[in-house]
Chains A and B, each alone.
Chain A
Amino acid sequence: MNVVTNNKWIGERTIRPDGADKVTGRAAFAADTNMPGMIWGKVLRSPHPHARIKSIDTSKAEALPGVKAVVSARDVVDFPVDKSVMLGIQDMRWMCRNVMAREKALFPGHPIAAVAATTEAIAAKACELIEVEYEVLPWVIEIDDAIAPDAPILHDFMKFEGKPSNIGGRLEVKKGDVAEGFAQAEVIVERSFTTRPVHQGYIEPHACLVSVGADNKTTIWSSSQGQFMVRAMTAYLTGIPQSDIRAIPAEIGGGFGGKTIVYLEPLATLLAKKSGRPVKMVMTREEVMRATGPTSGSKSTVKIGAKKDGTIVAAQGTFYLQAGALPGSPNRGAVGCSFSPYDIPHVLAVGFDVLSNRSKVAAYRAPGAPIGAYAVECVLDELAEALKMDPLDLRLKNAARQGTKAAFGPVFPRIGYVETLQAAKSHPHYSAPLGKLQGRGVASGFWFNAGGESSAQVNITEDGNVVVTTGHPDVGGSRAAIANICAELLGIDYKRVSVLIGDTATIGFSNLTGGSRVLFASAIVVTQSTDKIIATLKERAAKIWDIDPEAVKWENGAAHPASPNAGQFEPLTLAELAAKAPSMGGPIGAGVQLNTEGAEGGFGTHICDVEVDPELGIVRVIRYTAVQDVGRAIHPGYVEGQIQGGVAQGIGWALNEEYIYNKSGKVDNPGFLDYRMPVCSDLPMLDTVMVEVPNPKHPQGVKGVGEVPLVPVMAAVANAIHNALGKRFYSLPMSPPVVLEVIEGPETRQAAE
């Protein structure tokens, strides 16, 4: 590891490269893109939660003046259900059925057909003219109903334990023998919890513009977390080879995991191909809420056993996570992350993928981990209470450290969990006095983080500045952080470094933006590319000075003789060497493509204060401190922003966000008015404490930071409410009617009457 101290740019809050464009409106989002001859695509969506599609007659729609193309499932490449074809975490069998209903409509909002017409209004009118004959089937929304013996089955081909079932899979993580562990326990706490599906809530709805040439050469402008993912999925679903598709990433208005899959791009491509016109599609908020994301609702049971001195001896968790109407819940995060902050000898975590007639879930910040951590961290709070221990002390006593073997497999290297607990404990917030009806709670969380494939190209311009191209949409400040790193390595002002996101034709394959992988991975390829450039620059200076390249050092943006023995030469700056490039070997640039390894998990510990209005059941978060091991904060402002954003989303999940279904199996609150994400005035200043325990396997010590901050929040809020009221809550959201009901309880209500 060569973590440099006394950095000039690493650790600086440099001005964000996309800032001016975003505040002036110059930044181009997918919906801002237009082309001559462009027409509009619209999707006809199922009104039913569950129905067999008997026939689709598009003739009337096609006859409507202005309609240029109509597509349905028969235009989408089929992936038969008996053979899995994986692309990243997605299985194309389910993707092809999600972008367009095939045999059955599986949730209200499921696409049935799509139309392209000269105006949006004509496209909408044409959708109304499509005649679909449905055989309406019994449907199921909630987990308990979906796993009941007599539940309506979504997919006849899906079997669990030999029988048709809505359980799409089982995942287990095991260490030791929990039966043996619990036998040693002196105190055991076991509780069950439920959480509701919550949406990622990105402000920008899904949008794309697609142009297909007569030779099938296809250009896609879209809002996504991965242009290469868009290219591959579109290729799979349309049959156009990847080499004929150029996917251009637009500026993105939020994703949080929800834009790691496609909805519109394959349909727009098919419509563009059929019509011969560029096709633009933009979802409405209602479409976003009915047919995209969210993350799973869940039902879980967690049991933890400890000795009287607080040593945890065994932990067991059973997690049922909703997948939506097609398999693929984030069970891995729930079973893999929940117990990972702790060194526990006996662990068993089992997850079940539960299907029901809801939209297919998509990734959401540390997928699955917040659901598991909510249950585990609430049980730990009760365990601490039963043991009469401070909840942070209980965690400290059992904290995972270097050498701890996590139940999901790895042995931890040097990690920073203990440091987050110590920082939380010594933070003034933890000992600040509380007022009446106020309470304080703590919770911790873990996320795996990720590495994977990344590419970068670093080029020196003729005037001696730098252009860096990477392959990941920037959702959390990667451009600013990469500019800091590149400027640091080259010893130049960071303003001389421009960082761009390349499209699929201009930069090598780069896996999508997700898993908190982007800065970890792209910093490695950018560092290696920049190191190559520095080697070239030193070689050229050596040639000019006629000395050995080993005798040249690169410092403060210029080549210098490494020592007085090497000779006396005036430094050669980057600009001077760039000017000499044509006569000294040609353009200066380097690219690196790697499957990066060495991403280490991240840990966070949060302190939350709440105040409760016991007559109205309203809970307000009045103070919040999030402590996180961030590895190395390359751009601290962005790291803090990531932490604050995760906490804000967690507070929404804890207190108000939920999908409300009506009696006919349809979402009743498909908009931001009644799907209540927090607004600014709902939150206090969210304080952050960045603990820096550098990742020993990364050139700058980087660890992913974007996902950990959502993991502990729901438990921290729930534990704080308990501290305020002396009452425990076992379900989310802890919305005013629920809180009031628990406060008044059966006894209280009787006494009042």
Chain B
Amino acid sequence: MTELRYLAPATLDEAVKAFASAGSAGRILAGGTDLLVQMRSGAVKPGVIVDIKKITEMTAIEPTADGGFRIGAAVPGAVLAEHPHFGKAWPGLLEAINLIGSTQVQGRASAGGNLCNGSPAGDSVPALVAAGAIATLQGPNGRREMKVEDVPAGPGRTNLLPGEILVSFTLPPRPKGSSDAYLRMIPRTEMDIAVVGVGVNLTLKDGVCTAARVGLGAVAPTVLLVEAAAKALIGSKLDDAALKAAASACSAACRPIDDKRGTIVYRTRVAGVLLKRTALIAARRAAGN
């Protein structure tokens, strides 16, 4: 049968070189919680696996000079949850990352892998989009940055160039009165895939929303940044009218399909409901910051 090579380089340069030279046979291994399942089911048959967990930069959680965070693409959810400050600044993003898989899976699964898997239903992605996270990529032609919302290209596809590896996420500094939240709808209580996921990140000043970003998952071929929903929230005190307008904007942004996980009608409706609930949780948290 076909040969499979496993590489675990210690530096990013080696990883990029190995990955680029493997071409379409290459696969990046972070936690492996998607890749190994896909390999076992026969959905993918890689010739070269490049394990990035030995690369320091990709497993580090660091403060940035301006007071934000840089999170290595291969940092597992469980490690992020144990960080002393991250969850305080980004509770919504953390809860989204911690929803990927079961407790056992959390020991391996990373936000980087979740984004690169390209699923429109990935739990961390709407929260990353809402957070305004910037992805750092490195490829044969060097390093570049990309907004997270620009990374997915469609189900199972990304806009990364051949040979490019997602290195880390950069999160901006938190102004006073800021917080975020993430909610998803699943028919069960865990061990399920989001039928709709909503991330809301906002800043309040004297009870008025001064900044907001809304990420919406599982309702279109890619996770969406819903600017119309954010606009409806900004300038309001998150009163019923503002929430209703933002919910309508979310429902209007939906371009879902009918599939085994949900119907068009249901997803469209639920996107609005979740927006309201998520925004209120984010606001309650922000009021305490």
What residues make up the interface of A, taking CB atoms closer than 8 Å to B?
A: 119, 121-122, 125, 286, 615-618, 620, 655-656, 660, 668-669, 673-674, 676, 678-679, 681-682, 735-737, 740-741, 744
Which residues 208-263 of B sit at the A interface, judged by CB distance below 8 A? 259-263
- For residue B104, CB closer than 8 A to chain A, the reply is no
Please give the distance in Å from B274's CB to the nearest CB on chain A: 8
Chain B residues whose CB sits within 8 angstroms of the CB of A669 once the complex forms: 260
Contacting residues, chain A, for B270 (C-beta < 8 A): 615-616, 740
Cβ contact within 8 Å between B188 and A617 = no
Contact A679 B263 (CB under 8 A): no
Residues of B in contact with A, size category: 20 to 34
Query: B127-150, CB under 8 A of A: which get 1 and which 0?
Result: 000000000000000000000000
Contact B189 A679 (CB under 8 A): yes
**Distance between Cα atoms of A660 and B261 in the complex (Å):** 10
> Does B79 reach chain A (CB closer than 8 Å)?
no
CB of B44 closer than 8 Å to a CB of A: no
| Contact status B185-A616, CB under 8 Å | yes
Within 8 Å of chain A (Cβ to Cβ): is B10? no
Could you tell me if B273 and A615 are in contact, using CB atoms closer than 8 angstroms?
A: yes
Measured between C-beta atoms, what is the minimum distance from A657 to chain B in Å?
10
Q: Does B14 contact A (CB under 8 A)?
A: no
Complex partner residue of A736 from B41, B187, B189, B191, CB under 8 angstroms: B187
B190's contact among A125, A681, A735, by CB below 8 Å, is which?
A: A681
Contact B266 A678 (CB under 8 A): no
Determine if B265 is an interface residue (Cβ-Cβ < 8 Å): yes
User: Can you spell out 25 A-B residue pairs with CB atoms less than 8 angstroms apart?
Assistant: A122-B1, A620-B189, A655-B187, A660-B260, A668-B259, A668-B260, A673-B191, A673-B192, A673-B193, A674-B193, A676-B192, A678-B188, A679-B191, A681-B188, A681-B190, A682-B188, A682-B189, A735-B187, A736-B185, A736-B266, A737-B263, A737-B265, A737-B266, A740-B269, A741-B265
Q: Which residues of B from 259 to 287 have beta carbons under 8 Å from A? A: 259-263, 265-266, 269-270, 273
Q: Are the C-beta atoms of A679 and B266 separated by less than 8 Å? A: no
Which chain B residues lie closer than 8 Å to A679 at the CB level? 188-191
Min C-beta distance of B95 to chain A, whole Å: 16
CA distance in complex: A200, B261 (Å):
21
A415 to B185: give the CA distance in the assembly, Å.
45
Chain B: CB-nearest residue to A658? B260
> In the bound complex, do residue B192 and residue A740 qualify as a contact, i.e. CB atoms below 8 Å apart?
no
- Take A615-B273, A674-B260 as given contacts and tell me if A656 and B189 are in contact as well, using a CB distance cutoff of 8 Å: no
Q: Which residues of A contact B273 (CB under 8 A)?
A: 615-616
**In angstroms, how far is the closest chain B Cβ from the Cβ of A135?**
28
Find the residue from B187, B192, B262 having the highest chain A CB count within 10 A.
B187
CB <8 Å contact, B189 and A617:
no
Whether A121 lies near B1 (C-beta < 8 A) is yes
A682 to B263, CA, bound (A): 22
Q: Which residue of A lies closest to B258 (CB)?
A: A737
CA distance A617 to B260 in the complex (A): 17
Write out the residue numbers on chain B whose beta carbons fall within 8 Å of the beta carbon of A660.
260
Determine the residue in chain B with the shortest Cβ distance to A285.
B41
Which of A620, A668, A682 has the most C-beta atoms of chain B within 10 angstroms of its own C-beta? A682
Query: Within the assembled complex, what's the spacing in Å between the Cα atoms of A669 and B189?
Result: 19
User: Could you tell me the distance between the alpha carbons of A741 and B273 in the complex, rounded to whole angstroms?
Assistant: 15
Kindly list chain A residues whose C-beta atoms are within 8 Å of the C-beta of B261: 674
Q: Which residue of A lies closest to B40 (CB)?
A: A284
Chain A residues within 8 Å of B266, by CB: 617, 736-737, 740-741
Residues of A within 8 A of B263 (CB): 737
B1-A656 in contact (CB<8A) = no
- Evaluate whether A737 and B262 lie within 8 angstroms (CB atoms) in the complex, with A121-B1, A615-B273 already known: yes
Q: Which residue of B lies closest to A284 (CB)?
A: B41
Q: Give B186-206 interface residues, CB cut-off 8 Å to A.
A: 187-193, 195
Cα A660 to Cα B187 in complex, Å, equals 15
Q: How far is the CA of A737 from the CA of B263 in the complex (A)?
A: 7
| Other A-B pairs beyond A121-B1, A736-B185, 20, CB < 8 Å | A125-B1, A616-B273, A656-B188, A668-B259, A668-B260, A673-B191, A674-B193, A674-B260, A674-B261, A676-B192, A678-B188, A679-B189, A679-B191, A682-B189, A735-B187, A736-B266, A737-B262, A737-B263, A740-B269, A744-B269
Give the shortest distance, in Å, between A141 (CB) and chain B (any CB): 15
**CB–CB A676/B190 < 8 A:** no
